[in-house]
Amino acid sequence: MTIIIGLFIAGASLLGGFAALGGKVSVLWQPWEFVIILGVAFGAFVVANPLKTIKGTVVAISDALRNAVPNKREYLDVLALLYGLMRELRAKGRNQVEPHIEDPNTSSIFQKYPAVLRNASLTTFICDYFRLIIVGNARAHEIEALVDEELQTIHRDQLKPYHAVASVADALPAIGIIAAVLGVIKAMGAIDQSPQLLGSLIGAALVGTFIGIFFSYSMFGPLAAKIKSVREGRLRTYIVVKQTLLAFMNGADPQIALEHGRKTISDTDRPTIDEVENETMSAGPSGGADNVQDLQGAA
């Protein structure tokens, strides 16, 4: 929503200011200049990126427009899910937890949190590291190194759409110059015409440079920055899982382990201890009220 508002402000300021200076707004409407610039930019985008990245960019733009970053509710779901699995492991042992990990879609614990279950990548991430905990042979520092390596890979994959859109933004000024050169060539072909006609042709050619620069710095550049911001925000849930599970592996009680994860959440979205307590009351086999004092002491 903020992207649309920002583009409206930029466009209104541009056209309004140009009109206030005495310019004719109709001169800026050069549809074939738009076709040349956007068509060449899209063609270069297709050439530079594999099909998977192209599809991912469409999804990333949609996420950016919706500002689809995790909110407090989503963080609470992740924390409550982790609590349920940790409590199950502590209370019933490995054999009882393994079915939840092997098939999360049929797990009674995972089914309580459909928002987490819909995120296939996050669900796989959680199951993989719980599986390593169940095996019990890996040490906490070894798991931490492995998680860090995977997070770097996820981060690179998540930012591929950002780099793709940013490359288009960087190329647009030059593509605008290409369109302007084509317009000048057309104008030179009419050099024997009246000065009035020649002036309009040159003006139309210069619009190409304007369009390329405007799209680069006022549309595609900010859109790329928004994609990066949203994608990095979505990575935060993985950090929460990492810190929670590492604390649990190092011997912390489930409630204390949750506090390690909760503290990695941005202050604007971080749930309070009471909110986490209310969520975990029904997450594990015996609830979370019996260890509230431990959780509060960790804060």
User: Can you give the pLDDT at residue 285?
Assistant: 45
User: Can you give the pLDDT at residue 291?
Assistant: 44
Q: Which two tokens stand for residue 169?
A: 């933004």
- Judging by beta carbons within 10 Å of its beta carbon (0-12, 13-18, 19+), is residue 175 exposed, middle or buried? buried
d(Cα 299, Cα 296) in Å, to the nearest integer?
Answer: 5
CB 60 within 8 A of CB 161: yes
User: Can you give the pLDDT at residue 47?
Assistant: 95
* 36 phi, psi to nearest 5 deg: -60, -50
Contacts of 87-92 with C-beta under 8 Å, sequence gap 24+, read 87/254, 87/283, 87/284, 87/285, 87/286, 87/288, 88/284, 88/285, 89/130, 89/133, 89/134, 90/254, 91/284, 91/285, 91/286, 92/285
* 133 phi, psi to nearest 5 deg: -65, -40
d(Cα 59, Cα 234) in Å, to the nearest integer?
Answer: 13
User: Can you give the pLDDT at residue 283?
Assistant: 54
d(Cα 83, Cα 277) in Å, to the nearest integer?
Answer: 10
pTM more than 0.85? no
User: Can you give the pLDDT at residue 11?
Assistant: 83
Q: Which two tokens stand for residue 86?
A: 């940790």
**Residue-by-residue pLDDT tens, the chain, 299 positions:** 677 888 888 888 888 888 888 878 887 888 888 899 999 999 999 999 999 999 999 999 999 988 889 999 999 999 999 999 998 888 887 888 888 889 999 998 899 999 999 999 999 999 999 888 888 777 888 888 999 999 999 999 999 999 999 999 999 999 999 988 888 888 878 777 777 777 777 878 888 898 999 999 999 999 999 999 999 999 999 999 999 999 998 889 999 999 999 999 998 889 998 888 888 875 544 444 444 444 444 44
